[in-house]
């Protein structure tokens, strides 16, 4: 197997990768699962600080020029007025009646507007490639049924990351 892998040229690798990206449109449940992970475990809880260039009205109230604005992305992603039971992991919320992908208006793990994440497309493609390659190669289970390390908690800084946890990965 390793010998076959070594024979794959860089050019062939690129072709394989293009083929895999083509599959993205025909894997709605996988895409919905990735979106739900990005929603429920958003990497950035808060967007980069931005300052107002001029006095701005929000809900009829004036917000003065130079005010620093911090958009709390998690509060949007967990907004109960936008989606039911936001604390539950439910990929189906990103699927339509026929199982097709739907993009809700309010979905902002990469923030929104003119200063939205410039790496969004790259990150989305890389996450898709990693996740699908991973699922094709490993069966992934808890180390034991009662293991609570998966729900330990998180460390929040500039970005969020989970506390260390254990998983059992068996090559397929």
Q: What are the beta bridge partners of residue 50?
A: 69
Give the residue among 105, 152, 119 at the shortest CA–CA distance from 44. 119
What SS3 class is residue 13?
Answer: helix
Q: Is 117 annotated as a binding residue?
A: yes
Please pick, from the candidates 30, 44, 45, 63, the single residue that binds ligand HEM as defined by CB under 6 A.
44
Segment lying near ligand HEM (by CB under 6 A), choices 8-16, 51-59, 107-115, 162-170 = 107-115
Task: Count the site residues for ligand HEM by CB under 6 A.
Answer: 14
Phi, psi (degrees; rounded to nearest 5) at 25: -70, -25
Minimum distance from residue 71 beta carbon to ligand HEM (Å): 6
User: Are 172 and 139 spatial neighbours (Cβ–Cβ below 8 Å)?
Assistant: yes
Q: What are the beta bridge partners of residue 68?
A: 51
Give the residue among 77, 100, 99, 96 at the shortest CA–CA distance from 88. 77
Among all residues, whose Cβ is closest to ligand HEM? Answer: 119
Nearer to ligand HEM by C-beta: 30 or 43? 43
Does 47 contact ligand HEM by CB under 6 A?
A: yes
Q: Name the binding residues for heme.
A: 117
Contact residues for ligand HEM, defined by CB under 6 A: 43-44, 47-48, 109-111, 115-119, 122-123
């Amino acid at each position: 197997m390793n010998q076959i892998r070594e024979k794959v040229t860089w050019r062939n690798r690129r072709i394989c990768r293009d083929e895999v990206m083509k599959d993205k449109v025909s894997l709605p449940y996988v895409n919905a699962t990735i979106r739900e992970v990005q929603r429920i475990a958003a990497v950035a809880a808060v967007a980069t600080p931005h300052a107002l260039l001029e006095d701005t009205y929000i809900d009829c109230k004036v917000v003065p020029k130079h005010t620093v604005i911090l958009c709390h992305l998690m509060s949007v992603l967990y907004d109960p007025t936008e989606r039911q039971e936001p604390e539950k992991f439910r990929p189906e919320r990103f699927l339509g009646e026929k199982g097709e992908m739907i993009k809700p208006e309010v979905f902002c793990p990469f923030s929104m507007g003119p200063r939205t994440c410039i790496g969004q497309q790259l990150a989305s493609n890389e996450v898709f490639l990693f996740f699908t390659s991973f699922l094709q190669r490993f069966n992934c289970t808890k180390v034991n049924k009662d293991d609570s390390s998966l729900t330990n908690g998180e460390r929040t800084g500039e970005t969020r990351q989970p506390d260390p946890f254990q998983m059992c990965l068996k090559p397929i």
